[in-house]
Structure 1
Amino acid sequence: MYRMSLMTMLCPPTLAPKLDLFKCMKMCLIHDMAESIVGDITPVDGVPKPEKSRREAETMDYISKNLLGKVYGGLAGAEIRAIWQEYEDSKTLESHFVHDLDKMELLTQMVEYEKRGNKALDLGEFAYVATKIVLPETQKWAEEILRERDEFWGTKAHVHGEAGADGGVKADKVKAQEAYYNKEGAAP
């Protein structure tokens, strides 16, 4: 969340004027707030997307009304809940950008962990999320990260998750990720 907020400041110059970057920073900080109570439900956990959404919405209602309901007469909680819902609905340019940043942060973290592992840790199965980035500007950014990753690995064989099962990722993982990202209400 924090790194994603910082990444908004690195927004590609062709995209930045089209966005409310202050709102994007808030959205980055808020988008996973429900996880503080329900936990981080991932595509491989077997929880259907509608159930995950229900749990998280219920949790955000609790946070915004019960925990923050008296802060500034409820305005703070209402704003946080509205920004979270905008992210979940994924209909605005800001929400698309923040969904992309969430994936970009995962790619960045993947490469960092691989470098720390000194080529003993191949996390290429996570590169798959690059195929789900929707904005052209952030797609280019993801391509740069994956190029950096390929340069790091050099000629040593490594998994290319962006190639799905053909890249060395088990077909069941690809299927779970596809189901998660392509169901109605899922991130674009």
Structure 2
Amino acid sequence: MSQSATPPQQPQQPQPVVQAQPVDGNPYAQQPGAVPPPQAPNAPYVPPVPPVPARNNIGLGLVTAVVAALVAAGVYGVVIGVTKHEIGWAAVGVGFVIGLAAGKLGGRNPVLPVVSAVLALGSVYLGQLIGEAMIGAKDLGVSFSEVFFDHFDVVQEAWKAEADPLTFVFFAIAAFAAFSGTKKASL
């Protein structure tokens, strides 16, 4: 009787286990589905990190720049009305505030520096008109709103009469500060 011998089988080699690597290539990153380790007892509570504020939103940047321009114009007008002088550093502040607001929330959109410079020009002009109206109201003994809203044409004529080359230098300073401030704030 012949017995058929079964050929000896080769022992199976264990296959290496390949773990999935994260997409970013960090082998120490937490794997999907992993549970974080429990917090140590008596450890203080650490709140989660808040989300990063929205950036690169041109609409939000423009709206914020317009609001900043109106507020800066009011402040600049009050400074002129109280001191009865135009102040160069205040014009720089007007432009910088507008540029900072547009750049921080609007991001790197190339339209924002140009719009900020235009808003700075309008803001300085409005501020100078507010200052003229405050000075005129004080001299005439009437309210600011009466002079500014009821006699706006007179306020503009007074501005034209008092405008000198330095007035236009303040326009340029504010526009430059707004343009460069937007660029720097968006980085």
- TM-score tier by shorter-chain length is 0.3 to 0.5
TM superposition score normalised by structure 1: 0.34
Q: Looking at CA atoms only, which structure, 1 or 2, has the larger radius of gyration? A: 2
Answer 1 or 2: higher relative contact order, Cα 8 Å, separation at least 6. Answer: 2
Greater helix share, 1 or 2? Answer: 1
TM superposition score normalised by structure 2: 0.34
